[in-house]
Amino acid sequence: MSMHTPPRLFARLLALVVPRSTADEVLGDLHEEFVDLAATAGRQRARSWYAAQAIRLASRSMVHRVAAVVGPGPADPLAPNPGDSYMRSLASDVRRAGRTMFKRPAVSALVILTLGLGLGANATIFGGIDALILRPFTIPDLDRLVMVAETEPGTSADTQETVSPANYLDWKAQTDAFEHLAAFGWWDVNLAGQEEAERVAGFFVTANFFPAVGVAPSLGRTFMTDEEVRGNHRRAVLSHALWQRRFGGDRDILGKTVLLDTEPFEIVGVMPEGFGFPLGADVWAPLALDPKAAMRRDDRYLSVVGRLSPGRTIDDAKAQIALVAQRLEQQYPVTNKDRGARVVTMVQGMRDQGLGPMLSLWQASACLVLLIACANIANLLLARGAERQRELAVRAALGASRSRIVRELLVESVVLACAAIPLALGVAWVGIRLIRINLPPRLVRFVDGWTSMGVDERVFGFTVLLALATAIVFGLLPALRASRPALNESLKEGGRSASAGRQRQRLRKGLVIAEIALALPLLVASGMSTLGAHRFLNGPQGYEPDGLLTMRAVLPDAKYLQPEARRRFTDDVVARLSVLPGVRSVGLSNVLPSSNNNSSRAIEVEAVPTSDPANPPLVDNRLVGPAFLGTMQIPVLQGRNFSDADRADSLPVAIISKSAAERHFPGADPIGRKIRLGTDPWLTVVGVSGDYIQQWFNRRNAPTVYRPYAQAPSAYLAIGVRADGDLAALIPAARAAVREVDPAQPIFDVMPMRQALAEKTIGLQYIAAIMAVFGLLALVLAVVGVYSLMAFVITQRTHEIGVRIALGAKRGDVIRLTVGQSARMTAAGAILGLMLSAALSRGLETALFGIISSDVRISLGFAAILITAALAAGYVPARRATKIDPIIALRAE
Amino acid sequence: MPDRQKKAEREIYLGEFEQIVLLAILRLDQDAYAIPVREEIEARTGRRVARGALYTALERLEAKACLSSRMSEPLPERGGRSRRYYTVTPAGLAALRASRAALLALWKGVESRLERP
């Protein structure tokens, strides 16, 4: 099917450029040849062939269109055919542009280098956006897939609420816009087998899930409708990766059983290689709702994906779902009041919330870098235009029309831009590689499309288009300027024109001011994110992350439903871990900082009525062993710590964090008071602990309640081991210790706390690193801009400076004169830049959930750096000016 | 041939490539759309023809009334797009004839000199 479809991007590009009257002919011919070529030479070859042809035809067509707008060149009486002559003269323009380029190799190289970096930065980010946002899934007919989510009052338009089973079933029954409407729920499981037990990513799915996403198994089958019934649901479909990893690609695996959370599941199918929807799933099992669970409307844990019926659009689906949701709201006011439903495309629905803003931020920054680069190049070309003033004036005097000269200069720009494309693609290749290899392999599954990031034909097409657009941006101004020569002035002896020159200089100064004004916000943004990332990683966390090994486990209900069984398991594991060499203490909890899970509960304080019973305040709920606070080095500020004396049958107690004490016992002593979590028994507060950072992005100093694990044994375990020496070397021994207690019980996320922190803040580190590169690029470009302008201005003023020196001006006077000029320019740019920075940092603060705080000192600091660098760049040519020998300068006439 | 008609024919000047395109279309008869035209030219002359150049020439020849074209039904193998079939018009034939006559007249008497080693 896709065998016969040419690369869509290029087809669209071509359709855009080719006149409508010939679109059918040109695109159809190309399509026909593509199909033939795909059959003989293979799909990949055919695709790149198509891309190359489309680009050639498109650029040809573009030239035609530009030509039609600019109008025909000067009539050549010898040319029998004006059209032909136009193409021929354009070709000669291109050749001439090539010659000009080689005549000034230094300037051309500078332009190409600048442009290559600017275009390359944009191509890199586009590669990311394309792979991660535009087409993150290798699923056929992706545009027919939608996701349906519940909405809740007061949540932003982006939040995707999960769905209750009863609502899902009603949506499914009462709409016909969907060919399939499927549901899935998160189900990470313990997989036990011959080898070490393992925690794998699993999902419960309805039987129509696989037909909905449109992917068939490569082996066996997927699920039947009658397997959505409890008791008949113990079937599993494996991912290709898991099948290879755990079962050695055994082709006779169908019908065998696998132990998932200690229950036997029959393997009925294996999915094709590369399929791991959603979120890199490794195993799928039928979603079996018992009649009671199917009635629930207040328990929301499903995600819903649908395939649109043929001929139906997403708008039909939206209208139908909105209608059903409205009906349900009236029918079930208790659970569905104010709850609507939203239909979004699958790509939107599965998108990581933080990814979009982050990539847009980068693309915007890359665009700024390119703009600065454009300003720089425009400046260089303006300078060259000034040098060629006489040449152009002579040609204009001989009858060359203005459009003719503009065209010629624009062709020069385009040729320069095209010459920069290979460099830009090289930069993008390196950039994307650097981005790819720096993501920890563990996290790759969470970023859909990560592995398909690379320089492909789409990145290529993007770069070409951007290069052409850029050529217009940086070439048009100098071309228009150069083509309007003050004929008399330029042709006059000496050609040191007054008015045109001054105007030109004002333009060039404006460009440099713009460069500085654009560079400063980029610098400030990069400084803010670098400092933010540094603070996250190395700032105080409220506990001691160094020398701490972490691990997690989830005890399956089938084996560990009884509190006594959980206590026995944890006691045993803690005891065995404690005696490992180098281990100083072992802290048991249900949740550790920087992990992906959390547990929170509604809190009630005795004798204090809750203000809004429907929305009670929440606290983080931590069930910890007696050594936990000590192991983490979280201080006990008041009262006492837990001890072995806090047992299942002793007084139920709690320690609350400082923030919880301030929030729920403002101005009062919490020790001895009673609190309750949900409907659990009342707890007596015995201590107040320090706050710590659970998660940088949204859980800093969250109010927390600690309870002794013995009094509330959880199935979720998170263990911190404080040890001396190499933590990595401790990992095998720690795994073995758990295996000795229960060989079927896997532990996961086994890593030093520092690593967990680094992974948790990986997004911010990426932001910081990429912004730092952009900031540096912007700084360098701006400084180069100031330098080249000042060098040019001083060359132009050689005569004047010579006269001044001859009349007795001192070195200091000359430097003051020239540096003063660049200082005024820089100051103007910096003031504009500071204003832009203020706006940008406010945007950054919202985009990054307030983890980055704007700081006037950062802005001023970078303004100072920029101004210093710019002044230095202006000083170098100024010093040269002081060495001007008045006699030589005056003789240079 | 009356004088006035002769003059009208001469007014349509055909470049070399235009002659080649017209001849290829004549050879293909009913089957002439851009792909076979290009293949025919490449096979007969051994020259590579840029697609863009061919489309430009076809468009220009149609503008000069040397060619007429009609669109086919949309075809699935073309992604649902139509083919444009070309036919040489009487004016096109006349122009070809004039070009041929002009070239032959010039060739007369120089063949022997070209054959010298």
- How many Å separate Cα A542 from the centre of its chain? 29
* Average pLDDT value for residue range A344-372: 76
Q: Are strands A653-657 and A683-689 parallel, antiparallel or unpaired?
A: parallel
* Average pLDDT value for residue range A12-33: 83
Give residue A68's pLDDT band: very low, low, confident or very high (50, 70, 90). low
* Average pLDDT value for residue range A193-210: 80
Mean pLDDT lowest among A221-225, A526-530, B2-6: B2-6
Contact (Cβ atoms closer than 8 angstroms) between residue A654 and residue A671: no
Q: Which residues of B touch A60 (CB under 8 A)?
A: 52, 56
Contact (Cβ atoms closer than 8 angstroms) between residue A148 and residue A302: no
Q: Which residues of A touch B13 (CB under 8 A)?
A: 80-81
* Average pLDDT value for residue range A61-71: 54
pLDDT of residue A744: 79
Residue A740 has pLDDT above 70, yes or no: yes
* Average pLDDT value for residue range B50-67: 89
Contact (Cβ atoms closer than 8 angstroms) between residue A583 and residue A723: yes
pLDDT of residue B30: 85
What gap in Å lies between CA A274 and CA A455, rounded to an integer? Answer: 20
Find tokens 């789409």 and name the residue. A458
What gap in Å lies between CA A311 and CA A439, rounded to an integer? Answer: 41
Residue A84 has pLDDT above 60, yes or no: no
- Does this model's pTM top 0.80? My answer is no
Q: What are the residues whose beta carbons fall under 8 Å from the beta carbon of A372, sequence distance 6 or more?
A: A118, A515, A518, A519, A778, A781, A782, A785
Question: Per-residue b/e over A170-185, b at no fewer than 16 CB within 10 Å?
Answer: bbbeebebbbbbbbbb
- Residue A196: phi and psi, rounded to 5, are -60, 140
Mean pLDDT lowest among A79-88, A331-340, A437-446, A556-565: A79-88
Quick check: helix, strand or coil at residue A752? strand
Q: Identify which has the larger pLDDT, A587 or A356.
A: A587
Q: Which residues of A touch B82 (CB under 8 A)?
A: 24-25, 28
Find tokens 């208790």 and name the residue. A334
pLDDT of residue A419: 76
> Out of B50, B55, B82, whose CB is closest to A24?
B82
What gap in Å lies between CA B75 and CA B59, rounded to an integer? Answer: 22
Mean pLDDT lowest among A542-546, A610-614, A796-800, B33-37: A610-614
Task: Name the average pLDDT for chain A.
Answer: 79
- When scoring A30, A32, A57 by the number of chain B Cβ atoms within 10 A, the one with the most, hence best to mutate, is A32
Predicted confidence (pLDDT) per residue in A476-496, tens digit: 877 777 776 555 555 554 444
Q: Identify which has the larger pLDDT, A433 or A688.
A: A688
CB atoms within 10 A of CB A308: 21
pLDDT of residue B19: 93
Give the CB-side neighbour count of residue A240, counting CA atoms within 13 A.
12
What gap in Å lies between CA A741 and CA A620, rounded to an integer? Answer: 29
Give residue A76's pLDDT band: very low, low, confident or very high (50, 70, 90). very low
Share of chain A above pLDDT 90, in %: 2
Residue A319 has pLDDT above 50, yes or no: yes
Check A28 against B83: CB less than 8 A apart: yes
Give residue A702's pLDDT band: very low, low, confident or very high (50, 70, 90). confident
Residue A357 has pLDDT above 80, yes or no: no
CA dihedral A334, A339, A343, A346 (to 10 degrees): -90
ipTM of the complex, rounded to two decimals? 0.85
> Out of B55, B71, B77, whose CB is closest to A26?
B55
Mean pLDDT lowest among A227-241, A768-782, A787-801: A787-801
Q: What is the DSSP letter of A130?
A: I
What gap in Å lies between CA A54 and CA A47, rounded to an integer? Answer: 10
Check B77 against A32: CB less than 8 A apart: yes
CA dihedral A228, A230, A234, A239 (to 10 degrees): 40
What gap in Å lies between CA A797 and CA A889, rounded to an integer? Answer: 10
Predicted confidence (pLDDT) per residue in A375-393, tens digit: 888 888 777 777 777 777 7
Check B78 against A26: CB less than 8 A apart: no
Cα angle A198-A200-A205, degrees, rounded to a multiple of 5: 145
Residue A80 has pLDDT above 50, yes or no: no
Q: How many angstroms away from the CA of A83 is the closest CA of chain B?
A: 9
Check B51 against A25: CB less than 8 A apart: no
Q: Which of A34-43, A335-344, A519-528, B16-25 has the highest mean pLDDT?
A: B16-25
Predicted confidence (pLDDT) per residue in A622-637, tens digit: 989 888 988 989 899 9
Per-residue tokens: A302: 């499903």
pLDDT of residue A60: 67
